[in-house]
Amino acid sequence: METLSHWISGAHVKGGDRHADVFNPATGEVQAKVPLASKAEVDAAIAAAAAAQPAWGATNPQRRARVMMEFVRLLNRDMDKLAEALSREHGKTIPDAKGDVQRGLEVIEFCIGAPHLLKGEFTDSAGPGIDMYSLRQPLGVVAGITPFNFPAMIPLWKMGPALSCGNAFILKPSERDPSVPLMLAELLKEAGLPDGILQVVNGDKEAVDAILDNETIQAVGFVGSTPIAQYIYARGCANGKRVQCFGGAKNHMIIMPDADMDKAADALIGAGYGAAGERCMAISVAVPVGDATADALIERLIPRIEKLKVGPYTAGDDVDYGPVVTAAAKANIEKLVQSGIDQGAKLVVDGRNFSLQGYEEGFFVGPHLFDHVTTEMDIYRKEIFGPVLSTVRAQTYEEALGYAMDHEYGNGTAIFTRDGDTARDFAARINVGMVGINVPIPVPLAYHTFGGWKKSGFGDLNQHGPDSFRFYTRTKTVTARWPSGIREGGEFNFKAMD
């Protein structure tokens, strides 16, 4: 059995005595052990990063961008290898795993533009002989704590901008699927990143707390569940750090009576069941407006759901989704499905008895579809993070809008309609961070920013795009005066503007 490592100062480093199991979700077997860092190990990694950072921060932005440029080439070169490792530990299909890498790679492509993004402002002759200008400078050592569901994309979202800004970066990836982050570190070294500038420290809560409490760490980015996001945000801010945390979601898709029902149904299949629902941008609530719309939608969804192919990534690229990440995740999904039945929702497609021959010990969950879900039910209130779609029937557009606006989460949402006026009203009024109009998973491209509202996001700056360069730098403003001489002697008052 493979024993994984940390990545410290440009090399694999063996961990201490504590380890966690890394499973193959398709078989349920333990395939590797990952070390769980102690506070002392985390502190040592941070100290090494702090020693290396000044030289990297002093490297001009164009040279740092060239490292990112070479990194893009290497990511493309090793795409198949990265996707296979990701699928083996997470359970995603190979096409989905490649998408995971690709969406992270696109942020690295954006980071190649760091020289432009780091430009400051200049004012000539702000006063007599006085110029003013601003500098964007790295924070120093920063950290990212990333989730299991995107083991390539979100580490790349965090490390790319942070490194391009001249920071050293401490990555604490999920201990459930840690191999790809270690592979990314190897590729960055090959791309020319100096040793110590990226440290990958595997661990659990002890490692997280060590990052949050270490005075050298200037900023922390996190993606995961809302309770943990709130914890990290509160503790990090209390320790004087800049913190951005992105939490859970319950994304609604409103289907208007004038929508193309076949396109809406196809969109819901991909958005609701892709990656086994383990996406913060998954659509988990369908809100058809009017009973006729709801009936037409359900009629189209049932055969599509029943045709879904569930299996291991090794079964081919036509597999629609694979297992969930752990046995505990599977048990939680099944518990919530049962709560939906007990609380009165109608289970239209029942995936509870799903079993895959030869993979009976794997963490597979069959697809579920609920109808007549109401807002007090657990399956509506809680993030399920599984292949479960709930249908909440609304009688009017305003009622449908209210469901999305009143929910405590505000990550993503979508509306399917042919009416431009309705779409514009929805986009303007909805209190959700990312909005799709006839687009089911509205994940912005790398040059825009990604972030939710309400209990889906904590902090005032989003991920990737221009916000990421603001988050990983601080602004310094310089007022400079170069007098032509001192013939008239010293001046003790600031001269008034002419």
What are the catalytic residues?
A: 280
Q: Is 489 left (phi over 0), alpha (psi -120 to 50) or beta?
A: left
Residue ranges of alpha helices (H) inside 165-290 are 179-191, 205-213, 226-238, 261-273
For residues 430 and 439, what is the distance between their CA atoms, to the nearest angstrom? 15
| Structure token pair of residue 1 | 């059995």
Classify strands 457-458 and 242-246 as parallel, antiparallel or unpaired: antiparallel
Q: What is the three-class DSSP state of 418?
A: coil
Q: What is the three-class DSSP state of 127?
A: strand
How wide is the angle at C-alpha 257 spanned by C-alphas 252 and 260, nearest 5°? 85
How wide is the angle at C-alpha 114 spanned by C-alphas 110 and 116, nearest 5°? 110
Nearest to 254 by CA among 417, 120, 86, 407: 417
Q: Which whole-number Å values give the CA distances from 65 to 55, 71, 108, in the listed order?
A: 15, 10, 9
DSSP letter at 197 equals S
Asked if 412 and 403 count as a contact pair (C-beta separation under 8 A), the reply is: no
Q: What is the three-class DSSP state of 226?
A: helix
CB atoms within 10 A of CB 382: 15
Asked if 120 and 183 count as a contact pair (C-beta separation under 8 A), the reply is: no
The 3-state DSSP composition of the chain as helix, strand, coil percent (nearest 5) reads: 40, 25, 35
Q: Which whole-number Å values give the CA distances from 302 to 124, 279, 349, 366, 380, in the listed order?
A: 66, 22, 7, 13, 20
Locate tokens 């629609």: which residue? 320
**Angle (deg, nearest 10), helices 153-164 and 179-191:** 30
Asked if 429 and 420 count as a contact pair (C-beta separation under 8 A), the reply is: no
| Structure token pair of residue 54 | 């000044």
Q: Which whole-number Å values give the CA distances from 73 to 7, 78, 102, in the listed order?
A: 21, 9, 12
End-to-end CA distance of the chain: 76
